[in-house]
Amino acid sequence: MVSRRTNKLMECFKGSYKVKRIILSNTVELELLESVRIHLVVNVSRVCKYKEQVVGQRVVLPPPVIIEGEKEYEVEKILSKRKRYGKVEYLVW
């Protein structure tokens, strides 16, 4: 059994990164985080202009705040609540 995802289900683009400089007419250097493990210089065909998310599109969550060594999130509003498998789950904003 193959454990990798199929191309159909993979994301087309990853992240929003700034262009550090244009090297040639078809190559750019990107400002990447150290955790991103790709080459800094890419072909312009691999780069597209960032578009804002539309209604209903998956929302990228902000990183958690680390307090006393534990990850915590600030909840602005509780949108909904349900009981599932004996536990209460909250939909938050």
Q: Give per-residue pLDDT as tens, 18-31.
A: 899 999 999 999 99
Q: Is residue 4 part of a domain?
A: no
Instruction: Kindly list the distances between the CA atom of residue 64 and the CA atoms of 19, 32, 37, 43, 71, in Å, as whole numbers in the listed order.
Output: 26, 20, 22, 33, 6
Identify whether the C-beta of residue 41 lies closer than 8 Å to the C-beta of residue 17: no
Beta carbons of 30 and 21 less than 8 angstroms apart? no
Q: Domain residues for 34?
A: 18-49+66-92
Residue 56, in any domain of the structure: no
The model's confidence at residue 51, banded by pLDDT at 50, 70 and 90, is confident
- In the chain, the number of structural domains is 1
Q: Is residue 59 part of a domain?
A: no
Instruction: Specify if 5 maps to a domain.
Output: no
pLDDT band at 34 (very low <50, low <70, confident <90, very high): confident
